[in-house]
Amino acid sequence: MTDVLLQVEDLKTHLPLEEGLLKAVDGISFTIRRGQTMGLVGESGCGKSMAVNTIMRLAPNFAQIEGDVTYFPVGAEPINITALDPYGPEIRDIRGGEIAMIFQEPMTSFSPLHTIGNQITEAIRLHRTEDKKAAAKIAIDLLQRVGMSNPKQRMSEYPHQLSGGMRQRAMIAMALSCEPSLLIADEPTTALDVTVQAQVLQLMRDLQGEFGMSILYITHDLGVIARMVQVVAVMYLGRIVEFTDVDSLFYNAKHPYTEALIQSIPKIGKKSRDRLESIRGAVPVPINRPPGCGFFPRCSAAIDGLCNRVDPPLVQIEDDHAVACFVYPEVLDAVGESMPEGATHAV
Amino acid sequence: MTPEPKGEVSRLDVDELLNYEILSQRQLIWRKFKRHRVAYFCLVFLVVFYILAVFAEFFAPYGAFTRDTDFLYAPPTPIHFVDETGAFSFRPFVYKIVSELDLNTFRREYVEDRSEKFPVRLFIHAEPYRLLGFIETDIHLFGVDEGGVLFLSGADGLGRDLFSRMLLGARTSLFVGLLGLAIGFALGLIFGGISGYYGGAADMLIQRMIEFLQSLPTLPLWMALAALVPPEWTQIQVYFGISLVLAIVGWTGLARVVRGKLISLREEDYVLAAKLSGLKERAIITRHLLPGFLSYLIVHLTLAIPHMILGETALSFLGLGIQPPAVSLGTLLQDSQNVQTVTINPWLLYPGAVVVAIVIAFNFLGDGLRDAADPYKHI
Amino acid sequence: MQSDETILQVKSLKKYFPVEKGLLRRQVGQVKAVDDVSFEIKRGEALGLVGESGCGKTTLGRCVLRAIDPTEGEIILRKSDGAVVDITALDKGELRQLRKEMQMVFQDPFSSLSPRMTVLDIIGEPLWAQGVRGQALEARVRELADLVGLNVGHLNRYPNAFSGGQRQRIGIARALATHPGLIVADEPVSALDVSIQAQILNLLQDLQEKLGLTYLFIAHDLSVVEHIADRVAVMYVGKIIELADTEALYLNPKHPYTEALLSAVPKPDPRLEEREIILSGEVANPADPPSGCLFHPRCQYAQDRCRQEKPPLEEVAPGHFAACHFAEELELTGVAM
**Residue B272 contacts C where some CB pair is shorter than 8 Å:** yes
Q: From CA A193, how far away is CA B64, in angstroms rounded?
A: 73
- Which residues lie below 8 Å from residue A168, measured CB to CB, with a gap of 6+? A102, A106, A188, A189, A192, A196, A200
Phi/psi of residue C314, nearest 5 degrees: -125, 155
User: Which of B12, B270, B281, B288 is the best substitution to test chain C (most C C-beta atoms within 10 A)?
Assistant: B270
Chain B positions in Cβ-Cβ contact with residue C125 (cut-off 8 Å): 273-274, 277, 279
Question: Exposed, middle or buried: residue B178 (CB in 10 Å: 0-12, 13-18, 19+)?
Answer: middle
pLDDT tens digit string along C295-323? 999 999 999 999 999 999 999 999 999 99
Q: Count Cβ atoms below 10 Å from residue C28 Cβ, excluding itself.
A: 11
Per-residue pLDDT, A270: 67
CA of A227: which chain C residue's CA is closest?
Answer: C270
| Portion of chain B with pLDDT greater than 70, in percent | 92
Q: How far is C271 from chain B (nearest CA, A)?
A: 25
Task: Tell me: pLDDT of C253 over 90.
Answer: yes
CB atoms A251 and C271 under 8 Å: yes
Indicate the average pLDDT of chain C.
Answer: 90
pLDDT tens digit string along B173-219? 888 777 878 888 888 888 888 888 777 788 888 888 888 888 888 77
B286 near B300, Cβ under 8 Å? no
Cis ω on the peptide bond leading into residue C290 (within 30° of 0)? no
Per-residue pLDDT, B10: 36
What residues does A239 pair with on adjacent strands? A236
For the packed helices B200-215 and B162-198, what is the interaxial angle rounded to 10 degrees? 150
pLDDT mean over C54-61: 91
pLDDT tens digit string along C59-68? 999 999 999 9
Q: How far is B34 from chain A (nearest CA, A)?
A: 14
Per-residue pLDDT, B23: 61
What residues does C235 pair with on adjacent strands? C240
Tell me the DSSP string of B83-148.
-TT--EEEEEEEEEEEEEEETTTTEEEEEEEEEEEEE-EEEEEEEEEEETTTEEEEEEEEE--TT-
Indicate the average pLDDT of chain B.
Answer: 78
Q: From CA C171, how far away is CA B273, in angstroms rounded?
A: 9
CA of C191: which chain B residue's CA is closest?
Answer: B5
Task: Tell me: pLDDT of C257 over 70.
Answer: yes
Banded pLDDT at C129 (limits 50, 70, 90): very high
**Residue C197 contacts B where some CB pair is shorter than 8 Å:** no
Chain A positions in Cβ-Cβ contact with residue C198 (cut-off 8 Å): 264-266, 276-279
Q: From CA C308, how far away is CA A162, in angstroms rounded?
A: 28
- Which residues lie below 8 Å from residue C164, measured CB to CB, with a gap of 6+? A282, B5, B6, C109, C110, C191, C192, C193, C196
**Residue B273 contacts C where some CB pair is shorter than 8 Å:** yes
Strands C102-105 and A182-186: unpaired
Per-residue pLDDT, B2: 39
Q: From CA B156, how far away is CA B153, in angstroms rounded?
A: 9
Task: Tell me: pLDDT of B363 over 60.
Answer: yes
Give me the sheet containing C182-186, strands edge to edge: C102-105, C182-186, C214-219, C46-50, C231-236, C239-245, C320-322, C314-317
CA of C260: which chain A residue's CA is closest?
Answer: A195
Phi/psi of residue A268, nearest 5 degrees: -70, 140
CA of B12: which chain A residue's CA is closest?
Answer: A285
Q: From CA C149, how far away is CA C169, in angstroms rounded?
A: 7
The minimal CB distance from C125 to the residues B13, B23, B279 is found for B279
Chain A positions in Cβ-Cβ contact with residue C165 (cut-off 8 Å): 282
Chain C positions in Cβ-Cβ contact with residue A200 (cut-off 8 Å): none
CB atoms A220 and B13 under 8 Å: no
Q: From CA C174, how far away is CA C177, in angstroms rounded?
A: 5
Q: From CA A8, how far away is CA A65, in angstroms rounded?
A: 13
CB atoms C108 and B269 under 8 Å: yes
∠ CA C295-C298-C304, rounded to 5° = 70
Q: From CA B53, how far away is CA B16, in angstroms rounded?
A: 43
Q: How far is C274 from chain A (nearest CA, A)?
A: 11
Task: Tell me: pLDDT of B113 over 90.
Answer: no
Q: From CA A43, how far away is CA C176, in angstroms rounded?
A: 29
CB atoms B4 and A220 under 8 Å: yes
A209 or B112: which leads in pLDDT = A209
Q: Count Cβ atoms below 10 Å from residue B128 Cβ, excluding itself.
A: 11
Rg for chain C, CA atoms, rounded: 21
Letter for the amino acid at B159?
Answer: G
For the packed helices C194-211 and A256-264, what is the interaxial angle rounded to 10 degrees? 50
Per-residue pLDDT, C7: 94
CA of A41: which chain C residue's CA is closest?
Answer: C194
CA torsion angle for A213, A216, A221, A227 (degrees, to 10)?
Answer: 30
Helix (H) or strand (E) holding C6: strand C6-21
Per-residue pLDDT, C275: 66
B101 near B93, Cβ under 8 Å? no
B333 near B17, Cβ under 8 Å? no
Q: From CA C262, how far away is CA C251, in angstroms rounded?
A: 10
Extents of the domains making up chain B:
40-54+165-373, 72-157
B336 near B166, Cβ under 8 Å? no
Closest residue by Cα to residue C48 from C261, C199, C211, C256? C261
Q: From CA A10, how far away is CA A311, in angstroms rounded?
A: 14
Question: Exposed, middle or buried: residue B78 (CB in 10 Å: 0-12, 13-18, 19+)?
Answer: exposed
Per-residue pLDDT, C170: 96
Q: From CA A59, how far away is CA C17, in angstroms rounded?
A: 44
Question: Exposed, middle or buried: residue B133 (CB in 10 Å: 0-12, 13-18, 19+)?
Answer: exposed
The tally of CA atoms less than 13 A away on the side-chain side of residue A199 is: 20
Kindly provide the residue ranges of all beta strands, DSSP E only, lying in C192-319, ordered along the sequence: 214-219, 231-236, 239-245, 314-317
Longest dimension (CA), chain A: 74
Q: From CA B286, how far away is CA B269, in angstroms rounded?
A: 17
CB atoms A17 and B3 under 8 Å: no
| Portion of chain C with pLDDT greater than 90, in percent | 65
What residues does C103 pair with on adjacent strands? C183
pLDDT mean over B280-305: 81
Q: Which residues of A272-282 are buried (b: 16+ CB within 10 A; e: fewer)?
A: beeebebbeeb
Kindly provide the residue ranges of all beta strands, DSSP E only, lying in chain B, ordered along the sequence: 80-82, 88-102, 107-119, 121-131, 135-143
Q: Which 3 state secondary structure label does DSSP give A88?
A: coil
Q: From CA B18, how far away is CA A20, in angstroms rounded?
A: 9
Per-residue pLDDT, B201: 84
pTM of the predicted protein model:
0.81
Kindly provide the residue ranges of all beta strands, DSSP E only, lying in B205-296, ordered along the sequence: none
Using CB atoms, which chains have 3+ pairs under 8 A with B?
A: A, C
Alpha helices in A128-216 (DSSP H): 132-145, 151-155, 164-176, 194-211
B243 or A57: which leads in pLDDT = A57
Per-residue pLDDT, B1: 39
Task: Tell me: pLDDT of C274 over 70.
Answer: no
C224 near A276, Cβ under 8 Å? no
- Residues in chain A predicted with pLDDT less than 50, given as ranges, are 1, 345-347
Question: Exposed, middle or buried: residue B131 (CB in 10 Å: 0-12, 13-18, 19+)?
Answer: middle
Task: Tell me: pLDDT of C337 over 60.
Answer: no
Per-residue pLDDT, B19: 43
B72 near B155, Cβ under 8 Å? yes
User: Which of B9, B267, B269 is the best substitution to test chain C (most C C-beta atoms within 10 A)?
Assistant: B269
Phi/psi of residue B267, nearest 5 degrees: -85, -10
- Using a CB–CB cut-off of 8 Å, the residues of A that contact B are 15, 17-20, 22, 24, 43-45, 47, 49-50, 104, 187, 190-193, 220-221, 285-288
The minimal CB distance from B4 to the residues A18, A20, A190 is found for A190
According to CATH, the topology of domain B40-54+165-373 is MetI-like fold (1.10.3720)
pLDDT tens digit string along C100-123? 999 999 999 888 998 888 899 999
Q: From CA A323, how far away is CA A316, in angstroms rounded?
A: 6
Banded pLDDT at B245 (limits 50, 70, 90): confident
Q: Count Cβ atoms below 10 Å from residue B337 Cβ, excluding itself.
A: 12
CA of B29: which chain C residue's CA is closest?
Answer: C116
Q: From CA B230, how far away is CA C215, in angstroms rounded?
A: 69
Q: From CA C107, how far away is CA C57, in angstroms rounded?
A: 13
Q: From CA B196, how far away is CA A339, in angstroms rounded?
A: 66
Q: Count Cβ atoms below 10 Å from residue B220 Cβ, excluding itself.
A: 9
A213 near A180, Cβ under 8 Å? yes
Per-residue pLDDT, B214: 83
Task: Tell me: pLDDT of C25 over 80.
Answer: no
Closest residue by Cα to residue A141 from A197, A133, A35? A133
Task: Tell me: pLDDT of B292 over 60.
Answer: yes
